Structure 1
């Protein structure tokens, strides 16, 4: 190995290890399995890793890594010490032990065995195909979950699959493995950001995001508090699963407001932040939003309904909005929140399904 190859081989180990530690810290257990496999693979090719017989490290990666990755991505997200996860980790440890300690005749027997021998006898391509198949599973899961982590794990596996192609050698292979670790690292960092700043149910920035936005805001702005009317009774009648659907439906409308930042404040309450450019239109936007929600119909069947028919009632939702605009009397974000909350209280006391400005 020349110096450049040494640098990239070490980078591949360090980046994948860092991603593995972050995945452990944030309990992304499927990512933990994948990164444990990728880190071990990078270490097998690294000059910093254990001394192995000639070409055994690459042979081991082509023999074991594709199958382990394919099994790991197929498993559902479970606690790390779940039986299936422990089986994958046990197989990884066994593969590592065989790579390090198996005598030459045992290793030769493994290489000739099926299904491992299919890969050993046609180096590179079958291994790459299996890893790319694992990447496809990640991408399909990403379409379903809409989580960046699944997409970035898929990218990491694509890069790993390319690294196993016969035409990719030495430094290029280590570079691809380092980029694979970096892709996974980006996905995990994004997942950790979502955990801290995005509400998992509504998909909107959460209360912490609102607090930070208000701490940074300057100039003219308006702030509105939005509350779903009679939401407790709605939950009692239709159940929490339907209540969650209603929250997501309202959140989707808020997310589509142009030039307005929407946050989930808590429970059935949301907050809208209008910058200087939209402050003058805040009342009109709120009124249009109220009207749009009132016109919306949610197909729902009551959980208390004993009818077996597939037809569902169309349920109407309404919202109340309290709006506060920054002025001589209302200067600080805290004052604005209090004022918007008072306006919301007046809207609800006045019959709900209305906008009140304070």
Structure 2
């Protein structure tokens, strides 16, 4: 069966999603939504830096949702950081229209039932009204942390704790945004938005609850902590200079506590030099899942690309985590899904790159 897919909003990850849809034998790209007037009516392949695809983008949401498509790949920008309302309403509208949704926007929707407020109830209602299914994956929150941990838990008889890691080198990112977000190049960690109280909990709480439900426990409290390291000498990165004595690495943890013990933990290690945080013994960019129990399991997953590939392999992985899930999501009964509900969804792409 071939599933017809609409790409909702262009961008770096969307480019990889479109390439993934085009290369998947069970998927067909049939439309795309764009926000800006200068992209309206242009070929989606051109917008994504690919060969022309014969599919034109549109700003007309009504016309797009009236087309005969099965699924929307929803990859709008990071407006959820400030206010998710507008894009959340779009999600509900799409689901009510009879189209399934795979989502990379607002990553805390990886497990909506654990999100405060009416988000889960509203999503479930929209799915039932439209006869549709909704699922968020991504890398973290998503497969890189929760998915890898669920794989490790398959082998365990007794579970004491689950610890998930993301390890990333941010030195190649261009522009000031990445340095401001983590506080790189600053002398005071208070300058790091990600380390403000409650921010990391808001980002990772649903992942903790997903894993807690997976192992049959209930989180009593969520606790944050963090540490930073400082550059011993000045050095250059893609986004500018890191002076000596300023923040060059951030390590934060979000811990789901049960009976005073950290049962489920998400940890991020954000660095600018490969040699920083050597105690991790982790080379490159990727993810780690550690399950302490009987037996104890550690899975390390690195993310890389062939030498001739000029894009970001993490963006490819993030995009394909939803693209490859489309057939499973479309075939599922109506409702809100998570990684706990879907069987494995391996790639069928033949390997041809655009």
Q: Compute the TM-score of the two structures, normalised by the length of structure 2.
A: 0.24
Larger Rg: 1
Q: Compute the TM-score of the two structures, normalised by the length of structure 1.
A: 0.24
